[in-house]
Amino acid sequence: MSPRVTYRDAMREALREALQRDPRVFLMGEDVGMYGGSYAVSKGLLAEFGPERIRDTPLSELGFVGAGIGAALGGMRPIVEIMTVNFSLLALDQLVNTAASLRHMSGGQFHVPLVVRMATGAGRQLAAQHSHSLEGWYAHVPGLRVLAPATVEDARDMLWPALQEEDPVIIFEHALLYNVEGPLEPGAGADIRHARIRRPGRDLTVVTFGGMLNPVLGATEELARAGIEAEVIDLRVLRPLDDATICASVRRTHRVLIVDEEWRSGSLAAEISARIMEQAFFELDAPVQRLCGAEVPVPYARHLEEAALPRTPAIVEAARRLVGVAGAAP
Amino acid sequence: MIEVKLPSLGADMDEGTLLEWRVHPGDEVSKGDILAVVDTTKAALDVECWHSGKVFDLLVEPGRTMKVGTPMLRLLEPGENAASIPPARVPAAPAPPPAVTAPPAAARRPVSPAARRRADELKVSLDSIQGTGPDGAVTLKDVEAAAQARPGRDRAADMRRLIAAAMSRSKREIPHYYQTDDVPLAAATEWLRTTNLGRPITERILLAALFIRAVAEAARRHPDMNGFYVADEFRPSAPVHVGMAIALRGGGLIAPAIHSAEQKSVTEIMRDLSDLVARTRAGKLRRDELADPTITLTSLGDESVRAVHGVIYAPQVALVGIGQVRERAWVSNGAVVAMPVVTITLAADHRVSDGHAGARFLADIGERLQHPEKL
Amino acid sequence: MDERQLRSDLIGLLQRVAPEVDPGELDAAEPLRRQVDLDSIDFLNFLISINRQFKVSIPESDYEKLRSLDDIVSYLLKAMPAPSGGSGKASTSAV
C-alpha cells in the first residue's frame, strides 16, 4: 500500500530531493524561507539547507526573476517561486523578453535553465488579483516549456526532469491542489513531454489540466452512472501540447469537451479546439465544446466565485449535451 | 468661387469621414476658421479654412467617408455674385458598397464530419437518415444504424464476407479428403411414387427428405462423421443435427439444422424441411438452428450437376454432397438397365477420420437408400 | 375462369415463393424452374399454393406436365369447374 501524502508535501519532497541531488539547485522567492512559502510548500527547507540555498527575496518579481535568469546563465539551476500567476505579470519582461528569447537571440550560445514555479487558479476567495488562470499566456510563448502537475505524483515527479532542461520551464501549481491527498509510489521520474489518459472511456473525451482534473474525474463518476463513459486526458504539459494523445483519443470517441478554468477567449481550450479541427476534423461526431471560467475578474464573494468556475454539475451537463439525446441514458 | 477640398491631415491619410460641419451656408469665414471636423484613422481633426469668403453651399453630409481631394464646400469670394454660380457638381455619392450578401445558404442538415465520412464509406444516403445528435445532427451512430437496416445488396455483401471467412478458415485448417459413390435410386423413387400417390399435395415427400434421413441414420452409426473439432480435439455428438444448405434467392446460402434427424420419420423430416426452407427465405431462423448442425448436407440435385465436392463447415467434420438424379445405364444382375442414379460425395476431416471410415459411412448411406421403407 | 385473371393470380403466387420475379421478364412458354431458379421445395410450395387457391388437386405424376406458365394455365383451365359454377377462389375474388 503506497502512502497517501498531500500535493504540498509531494512538492516539498521534490524540492528537497532536487536540493540534495544537485548542489547547483537553489530556491528563491517571496517568503520561501523564514515564512515557509505562502502555501507552505518550502516549510522547513531553510533550516535544512540554509539561507544560501533557500533565499527570501524582496517584493520585486521583475528583480528576482531576473536574478534567477542571471544565476542560470552563470551555471546554477535556480528554482524561482512566484506567489501567484497574477504577480508573475510583473516579471513578464524577464520571462518573455529574456528567458524565453536568449537562446534564440544568442544563436544557441546561451541557455537559461531556469525553473519558475507559481500558484494559479481560483477557489480560495483570494479575489481578482490572486486567482486568475493565465497558463495559456505562457503556453503562447516559444522558448518556454509549461507544465501543470495535477496529481500528487506529478507534483513530485515533474520538478526533477524540469531541472534537467537546458531552457526555461514554468510549473503551474493550482492553489486548490495543495491540500489534495493521493497515493505516492516511490519516485520513478515523470516524463514532461506527454499528456496522460487518467480514465479510459468510449463515449467522449474530456481534455483538461491542473485544478480542473479532479472536478472532471468527479463528473465522470456521475456520467458513468448514467451510462456515459468519458475518457479523461490530463494535458500535464501545456507547451508544447501533446496533439498526438488528444487526436488519438478523438479517433476513439469522436466527441470532445475541453474543461479549462481560464477565460474562454484566447484560452488553451481555444488552441486545443483549433488543433482538433486541423488534425481530426473528420473524426468529429459533434462540435468540440468548451467549458471555461466566466469572463469576469474572479469575484471575491464565495457564491459568485463558485458561479464563475467550471464545477462538476456543469461538466456533467455539458458532457450529456455533447453525447446527445440518443447517447444519454436517462 | 472657391472649392474647398478635403485636405490630407497627415502623411498616411487618404480618406476621412465628415463628423460635423462647423459652418452653415451664408456664414462669413476667414482664414484660420474651422470649417468641419473629420475623423481619420488616427483622430478627429479640424479642417481649417485657408481663404476668406462666404459659405455658399455644403457638398457632403456628415457621416460620409471621402477620399482626400473630394470637394467639401464652396465659398463665394468677396464681391462674387451668387447668381453666377453654376449648380454644384455634387460629387456623386459613391455607390453604396454592394451589400455583401452571400447567396442564400441552402438549408443544410447538420451532419457530423465523422458521420459524413462514414456514410460515404458505407454508401449510405444521408437524405434518408433521421439525426439523433445535438440539434438533430446526423451522427456516426445514426449512419451505422441506417447501414444495418438497409435491405438487399449489403446484407448480401455481409453474407458474402461471412461465407468467405468461414470457407477460407475451413480450407486453411481442415485437411479434407474426398470420396464419391454412385447410388441407384430405383427403390427409393418407386417408394416415393407409391407413397405420394395416396397423399394430398401438402403431405407429399421429396427425395431430399429421404437423403437427410439416410445421412442422419448413417451418421448415428459413424460417430466420427458427426460432431465438432474444437481446441485440437474431436467432440462427437450423440444427436444428429443435419445442416441443410439452402441457397438464398439473391445470393449466399445458409445451412440451418434439422434437429435430431436420427429420431425423426421421413414425414417429420419433410415437414421440418418445408418449414425450414420457408423460414430461411423469410429470414426467420432461430439462433440455435444456425449454430448447431453437427453435419451438413448439400444437395445440388436441382441444378444439372452430377456431383458436388463440398467444403466442410468448421467446426463440423463432414459434409455430404448430393448431385442430380439422372437415368443412366446401370448394370444390374448382369444386364444393362436404365436406372435413376445419384452421385453422392463425402468431404471429411482427416484429423478425425480416415478414408476407410469415410468409405464405410458413404456405403452405409447408399445401402439405406435401397430400403426406403425402413428409413 | 378468365385466363388473364388466372395468369395474374399465378404470378402473384409465384412471387410469394420468388419475390424478385418480374412479370414483364417472364417467358410464359419457357420452363419455369430454370427461368426463376426454383428448387424442388420452391416448386412444391408453388404447387401447394395453387392447390389451396384454386382447389385443384395435382397428382405427383402430373408434375412433369407443368413445366411452363402456359402449361400450368392450360392444365388449370381444364381441371377447374366452369365459371358458371361460381365456385372457387378465382370467381369470388372477381366479385
DSSP string spanning A6-56? EHHHHHHHHHHHHHHH-TTEEEEETTSSSS--TTSTTTTHHHHH-TTTEEE
B302, B303, B324: best mutation site toward chain C, by most C Cβ within 10 Å? B302
Cβ distance B302 to C33 less than 8 Å, yes or no, reads yes
In this complex, does chain A touch chain B, defined as having at least 3 beta-carbon pairs under 8 Å apart? yes
Whether B37 and B47 have beta carbons less than 8 Å apart is answered as yes
Whether A228 and A204 have beta carbons less than 8 Å apart is answered as yes
Residues of A in contact with B140 (CB under 8 A): 254, 285
The alpha carbon of residue A215 and the mean position of all alpha carbons in its chain are separated, in whole angstroms, by: 15
Non-local CB neighbours of B120 within 8 Å, separated by 6+ positions: none
State the pTM of this model. Answer: 0.53
DSSP, residue by residue, B177-234: EEEEEEEE-HHHHHHHHHHHHTS-GGG---HHHHHHHHHHHHHHH-GGGSEEEETTEE
Residues of B in contact with C37 (CB under 8 A): 249
Partnered with residue B299 across adjacent β-strands are: B322
What angle, 0 to 180 degrees and rounded to 10, lies between the N-to-C axes of helices B140-149 and A312-327?
20
Instruction: Find residues 123-182 of chain B whose CB sits inside 8 Å of chain C.
Output: none
Peptide bond into A240 cis (omega under 30): yes
CA distance B51 to B330: 133
How close does chain C come to B201, measured CA to CA in Å? 6
Cβ distance C40 to B208 less than 8 Å, yes or no, reads yes
How close does chain B come to C39, measured CA to CA in Å? 6
Of B114, B132, B134, the CB nearest to A254: B114
In tens, the pLDDT along B114-169 reads 999 888 888 888 887 888 887 788 999 889 888 877 665 556 677 787 788 888 98
How close does chain B come to C57, measured CA to CA in Å? 7
Whether B44 and B36 have beta carbons less than 8 Å apart is answered as no
CA distance B274 to A222: 54
Q: How far is CA A187 from CA A49, A159, A160, A289, C14, in A?
A: 22, 11, 10, 36, 79
Q: How far is CA A1 from CA A157, A173, C62, in A?
A: 19, 26, 87
CA distance B126 to B132: 13
CB atoms within 10 A of CB A158: 25
CA distance C8 to A170: 86
User: B112: nearest CA in chain A?
Assistant: A285
Residue of B206, B181, B151, B142 lying closest to B306 (CA atoms): B181
How close does chain B come to C40, measured CA to CA in Å? 7
**Which of A22-26, A87-91, A211-215, B94-98 bottoms out in mean pLDDT, i.e. has the lowest?**
B94-98
Amino acid at C14: L
CA distance A234 to A213: 7
Residues of A in contact with B116 (CB under 8 A): 282
Calculate the dihedral angle through the C-alpha atoms of A52, A56, A61, A64, rounding to the nearest 10 degrees.
-20
CA distance A206 to A254: 11
DSSP, residue by residue, A109-174: S-----EEEEEE---SS--TTT----HHHHHTSTT-EEE---SHHHHHHTHHHHHH-SS-EEEEEE
Cβ distance C48 to B202 less than 8 Å, yes or no, reads yes
Q: Is B221's Cβ below 8 Å from some Cβ in A?
A: no
Does position A70 have pLDDT exceeding 50, yes or no?
A: yes
Q: Which chains touch A (3 or more CB pairs under 8 A)?
A: B
Does position C90 have pLDDT exceeding 50, yes or no?
A: no
pLDDT higher at B181 or C2: B181
How close does chain C come to B161, measured CA to CA in Å? 23
- Could you state, in chain order, the average pLDDT of each consecutive group of 10 residues for chain B (375 residues)? 84 80 89 85 78 88 86 86 70 57 66 90 83 85 83 65 86 94 94 90 90 95 93 92 84 84 92 84 65 87 83 94 92 92 96 95 95 89
Does position C93 have pLDDT exceeding 50, yes or no?
A: no
How close does chain B come to A276, measured CA to CA in Å? 12
The whole-chain average pLDDT of chain A stands at: 94
Residue A324's SS3 state is helix
CA distance A65 to A91: 7
Cβ distance A326 to B140 less than 8 Å, yes or no, reads no
Residues of B in contact with A327 (CB under 8 A): 141
Residues of B in contact with A322 (CB under 8 A): 134
Q: Is B126's Cβ below 8 Å from some Cβ in A?
A: no
Does position A327 have pLDDT exceeding 50, yes or no?
A: no
Interface size between A and B, measured as CB pairs under 8 A: 43
Q: Is B323's Cβ below 8 Å from some Cβ in C?
A: no
Residue of B374, B216, B240, B236 lying closest to B317 (CA atoms): B236
In tens, the pLDDT along B231-272 reads 889 999 999 999 988 887 767 788 888 999 999 999 999 998
Q: Is B274's Cβ below 8 Å from some Cβ in C?
A: yes
Residues of B in contact with C57 (CB under 8 A): 200-201
Would you place residue A35 in the very low, low, confident or very high pLDDT band (cuts 50, 70, 90)? very high
pLDDT for residue A317: 95
Does position C92 have pLDDT exceeding 60, yes or no?
A: no
% residues pLDDT > 90 (chain A):
93
Whether A82 and A168 have beta carbons less than 8 Å apart is answered as no
B140, B142, B143: best mutation site toward chain A, by most A Cβ within 10 Å? B140
Peptide bond into A330 cis (omega under 30): no
Q: How far is CA B72 from CA B36, B89, B339, in A?
A: 9, 11, 118
C60, C63, C75, C76: best mutation site toward chain B, by most B Cβ within 10 Å? C60
How close does chain C come to B241, measured CA to CA in Å? 20
Angle in degrees, CA A243, A294, A94, rounded to 5: 60
In tens, the pLDDT along A222-272 reads 999 999 999 999 999 999 999 999 999 999 999 999 999 999 999 999 999
Q: Which chains touch C (3 or more CB pairs under 8 A)?
A: B
Grid coordinates given for B261:
434427424
CA distance A153 to A213: 14
pLDDT for residue B220: 94
Of B201, B208, B277, the CB nearest to C57: B201
Instruction: Find residues 250-289 of chain A whose CB sits inside 8 Å of chain B.
Output: 254, 281-287
ipTM field = 0.74
Q: Which of A13, A30, A81, A130 is catalytic?
A: A130
Non-local CB neighbours of A171 within 8 Å, separated by 6+ positions: A115, A116, A117, A118, A147, A148, A149, A158, A159, A162
Whether A257 and A316 have beta carbons less than 8 Å apart is answered as no
Q: How far is CA B275 from CA B66, B70, B268, C37, in A?
A: 90, 95, 11, 19
At C81, give phi and psi (nearest 5°): -60, 155
Grid coordinates given for B235:
467432440
Across A19-43, average pLDDT:
96
Of A285, A326, A327, the CB nearest to B112: A285
Does position C91 have pLDDT exceeding 90, yes or no?
A: no
Q: Is B360's Cβ below 8 Å from some Cβ in A?
A: no
Residues of B in contact with A325 (CB under 8 A): 132-134
Of B113, B114, B132, the CB nearest to A324: B132
Respond yes or no: is residue A130 known to be catalytic.
Answer: yes
% residues pLDDT > 70 (chain C):
83
Non-local CB neighbours of A320 within 8 Å, separated by 6+ positions: A223, A226, A228, A328
Q: Which of A30, A61, A81, A135 is catalytic?
A: A61
Residue of B303, B339, B345 lying closest to B324 (CA atoms): B303
pLDDT for residue A22: 97
Q: Helix (H) and strand (E) counts for chain B?
A: 8, 19
How close does chain B come to C54, measured CA to CA in Å? 13
CA distance A87 to A90: 6
Grid coordinates given for B84:
453666377
pLDDT for residue A328: 40
Indicate left, alpha or beta for A145 from its phi (over 0: left) and psi (-120 to 50: alpha): beta
Cβ distance A285 to B140 less than 8 Å, yes or no, reads yes
B307, containing H or E segment: none
Respond yes or no: is residue A283 known to be catalytic.
Answer: no
pLDDT higher at A135 or B283: A135
User: B132: nearest CA in chain A?
Assistant: A326
Q: Is A188's Cβ below 8 Å from some Cβ in B?
A: no
Residue A251's SS3 state is helix
Non-local CB neighbours of C88 within 8 Å, separated by 6+ positions: C1, C54, C55, C80, C81
Whether B18 and B64 have beta carbons less than 8 Å apart is answered as yes
At C48, give phi and psi (nearest 5°): -60, -40
Q: How far is CA B314 from CA B227, B319, B344, in A?
A: 10, 10, 21
